[in-house]
Amino acid sequence: GRYEDAAQEYARAVALVPDNARGRAVLAVPWMYLGRYEQAIAGLQESVAMKPTRRLAAKVLEKPPK
């Protein structure tokens, strides 16, 4: 589906620019829609670790999906 396609494309972008905190946060979105919560949370954690000012990512981590 489209979320799987989006996840693949964003993962490819993150692989090209691994130090892009925003890319990791954006990749978490399709993962959440696909139910890949552990991957989404890990991506958000990496994003916040790289750039602590990623407020939205930090907020989602405060109350992650189940």
pLDDT (tens digit, 9 = 90+) per residue, 14-23?
Answer: 999 999 999 9
Spatial separation of the C-alpha atoms in residues 45 and 52, rounded to whole Å: 10
Question: CA-to-CA distance for 9 and 30, rounded, in angstroms?
Answer: 10
Percent of the chain residues topping a pLDDT of 90: 62
Residue 64 has pLDDT above 70, yes or no: no
pLDDT in tens, 40-58: 999 999 988 988 777 777 7
Question: From CA 28, how far away is CA 61, in angstroms rounded?
Answer: 11
Distance of CA 61 to the CA centre of its chain: 11
